[in-house]
Amino acid sequence: MFTSGGDSPGMNACIRSVVRTGLYRGLDVYGIMYGYDGMIEGTIKKMASHSVSNIIQRGGTILKSARSEAFMTKEGRQKAYAELTKLGIEGLVAIGGDGTFTGAKVFFEEYGIPTVGCPGTIDNDIYGTDYTIGFDTAVNTALEAIDKIRDTAAAHDRIFFIEVMGRDSGYIGIECGIGGGAELVMVPETRTKIEDVVKSLKGLRKTKTSSIIIVAEGLDCGDAAQIMERVKASFKDEEKEFKVTTLGHIQRGGNPTAKDRLLGSRMGMAAVEGLLAGESNCMAGVMNDHVVYTPFADCITKEKPLKSDYLRLQEILSI
């Protein structure tokens, strides 16, 4: 097993579950350090039950993570296969996002090593699962910061633009917006226009002296700082303070929530048991509280839309 791409809280819970499920089923379990790079370099170690003691509460990943350019080449994948063959490794558990699954899909097609993935990304943008490992923790981390920013926004009658992560997905943004009582949420899926933001803020002045606008990264109209400057230009005749806060990588760290610990543990077990049952070239996800296996091809190519009732709820609650 290995972790690849961006880290997310709950990956260690998944690693722990893979190791102990494998051992419980009488398997030899190996941990590959630094993702695909470690596979190429042969940085692989045999895992025991005590190898994963006291890690379920920790963020990050004990196996480390990296984005591998070498694995994108045929030569790199050939070296990786040779290293796995040396140890007699017969199956892989890949913990990561769509980039990780893309590499796993190509590797399977070339060498046929059965692989089951576990969706580890804070973005919650993977098709085939209701939630990804780390998403719940990221939302709660962001919410804690948003609550504190709202205190100072209210004290000084300020308008805050708060940028959250999510790449091309607005899941963190919309859940933070609803949970944090934001007046406006800007996510890639809705393509909010700057003039609409200005209109909303001017309409809210009648009832509110401060406002929080959640800005998801990946917007076509710019980042939070650029959007703030454009909105601010429409208020140049008014004495109104505008501020920007980019939460950044704090959303990736910290102790995973109970939900992410449980989700990671459940998916780790599902990956190992899926391999034993003949599942391959797919991801183990949880939908409607049931474990499902989705082909990597679908996970990579199909979009996971925002829940439409979330968008409607945000609009209703912001008045």
Write out the catalytic residue numbers.
Answer: 123
Q: Answer yes or no: is 252 a known binding residue.
A: yes
Q: Answer yes or no: is 182 a known binding residue.
A: yes
Q: Answer yes or no: is 67 a known binding residue.
A: yes
Half-sphere exposure (Cβ direction) of 292: Cα atoms closer than 13 Å: 15
The rounded distance, in Å, linking the Cα atoms of 38 and 103 is 14
Q: Which two tokens stand for residue 228?
A: 């703030």
Angle between helices 74-86 and 98-111 (to 10 degrees): 70
Q: Answer yes or no: is 209 a known binding residue.
A: yes
Half-sphere exposure (Cβ direction) of 265: Cα atoms closer than 13 Å: 12
Q: Answer yes or no: is 156 a known binding residue.
A: no
Q: Which two tokens stand for residue 196?
A: 């609409």
Q: Answer yes or no: is 208 a known binding residue.
A: yes
Q: Answer yes or no: is 210 a known binding residue.
A: yes
Half-sphere exposure (Cβ direction) of 220: Cα atoms closer than 13 Å: 6
Q: Answer yes or no: is 60 a known binding residue.
A: no
The rounded distance, in Å, linking the Cα atoms of 269 and 15 is 10
Q: Answer yes or no: is 165 a known binding residue.
A: yes
Q: Answer yes or no: is 97 a known binding residue.
A: yes
The rounded distance, in Å, linking the Cα atoms of 282 and 127 is 12
Q: Answer yes or no: is 121 a known binding residue.
A: yes
113-152: b (≥16 Cβ within 10 Å) or e: bbbbbbbbbbbbbbbbbebbbbbbbbbbbbbebbeebbee
Q: Answer yes or no: is 110 a known binding residue.
A: no
Task: Assign 3-state DSSP to the chain and report helix, strand, coil percentages, each to 5.
Answer: 45, 20, 35
The DSSP secondary-structure symbol of 133 reads B
Q: Answer yes or no: is 177 a known binding residue.
A: no
Q: Answer yes or no: is 236 a known binding residue.
A: no
Q: What are the binding residues?
A: 6, 16-20, 67-68, 97-100, 121-123, 150, 158, 165-167, 181-183, 206, 208-210, 217, 243, 249-252
Q: What are the binding residues for ATP?
A: 6, 67-68, 97-100
Q: What are the binding residues for ADP?
A: 16-20, 150, 181-183, 206, 208-210
Q: What are the binding residues for Mg(2+)?
A: 98
